[in-house]
Amino acid sequence: RTMLFVPVNERIPKIEIRTSQPERLVGQRAIVAIDGWLEASRYPHGHVVRVMGPTGAMAPDRDAEKVIEADVLLHEYGVPHEPFSPAVLAGVPVTPWIIPDSERERRLDLTGIDICSIDPLGCKDIDDALHARILPNGLVETGVHIADVAYFVRPDTAIDAEAANRGNTTYLVDRRFDMLPKLLTEDLCSLKGGVERFAFSCLWEMDPAQDYKIVKTTFGRSIIRSRGALHYEQAQMMMLKGRDRLSDQVRLLNKVACALKRRRMQGGALVLASPAVKFELDSETHDPAAVAQYQMFDTNSLVEEFMLLANIAVAERIYQSYPTFALLRRHPPPLPKSFEWLVATARELGVNIDVSSNKALNDSLAAAKMAGNEYFPTHIKMLATRSMALALYFASGDFEYPEFYHYGLACPIYTHFTSPIRRYADVVVHRLLAGAIGIDDVPPSICDQQRLR
């Protein structure tokens, strides 16, 4: 008997399937392969690769339906999400895990510094932590400490291959699919409060008399003990009302971050609108019950500035050592025609948008106002966001230096270093940085420019 399979993606035509068990397929989600398309046939023909389960009213319960629909969504977009294989799990350290003495000898001991992390409420995969302190010489030392995932994920192992294949952690409304096994994601790599953890640290000495100009930069693998895993609102309240040592540190971090942001804005960095939303889930069913705009605090910007600073500093360092195969990220300027609709739409509303440069664009977006419409500035920034080109990873040997430029951030060179628990590109960058400062060998696979591409 011939049946018609209706793809989730409406751009794909219906597919004819011949089967001797039609009752087994009716109302089922399935993965189907197209085998061909006869000239005289209205539809292509194919075969069922795998039945995923019933959908809609045919599902046994709501929980089963959610699992099946999530599976469909992940397959539709090619997101690897199968359980980790025994070979991958075999690469995870045995617990209880303790820091080897050999690592204590070769790492910076930063456990005596008041370091803290600031993340969304409930975050378990804590990639980054920060500190700031005034040195005896009057300079301010700031530090960004990133989970040393590369210590646990060694090159050319099963766990490395799986992380490379997944590429990143994928988040859905009610669940996530990790790039790394849970023990690494939520425990051994996560910079949790009150426990010693491995980090890759970027340290700067800054001169407060020169608006926190950087006078010295140091990179090194370290051991840290976070004094607190804070969430954004908590850190905001500490900054405003706290009277303890950690609150003083958050205030100092924010003071430095404001200087960093001020310089970025003067350099032409864009402030665009990409409103983030959060879903409130039913406590029993875990179904989305409400949606609201994600509330931003000054501490969100604080963390962002230091992550950008670290990414730029690491990009400069790895390019210095590896001018042909440093893994970097560029954001090309939009094509002039990409702005035509934005400029024309704004002009009809009596607003002039200057797109001659990123700074000119940002200044004109900041000045865009419309009487009686408080949402207009946000809407016009959203239109500008849609005009942007996509940012891209690349090997440094594939472009000339001026083409490294990141249009949105207005910086000449950039990479991703700060999220290695959830993004594989950052793991590669960690390995490059370790090689650049002479504390580890760079894997041959990274040195291969073609493979890096």
SS3 string of 347-383? HHCCCCCCCCCHHHHHHHHHHCCCCCCCCHHHHHHHH
Task: State which residues of the chain have pLDDT below 70.
Answer: 57-58, 273-275
What is the reported pLDDT for 217?
A: 98
Q: What is the pLDDT of residues 291-339, one digit of tens each?
A: 887 889 999 999 999 999 999 999 999 999 999 999 999 999 999 899 9
What is the reported pLDDT for 57?
A: 63
Query: Which residues are within 8 A (CB) of 405 and not within 5 positions of it... i.e. 6 or more apart?
Result: 330, 331, 332, 333, 411, 412
Query: Residue 232 burial (CB < 10 Å; 0-12/13-18/19+)?
Result: buried
Helix (H, G, I), strand (E, B) or coil at 325: coil
Query: Which residues are within 8 A (CB) of 314 and not within 5 positions of it... i.e. 6 or more apart?
Result: 202, 219, 415, 417, 429, 433
Q: CA triplet 355, 356, 359: central angle to 5 degrees?
A: 80
Query: Which residues are within 8 A (CB) of 73 and not within 5 positions of it... i.e. 6 or more apart?
Result: 172
Dist. CA 448–CA 431, nearest whole Å: 14
- Length of the chain in terms of residues written: 453
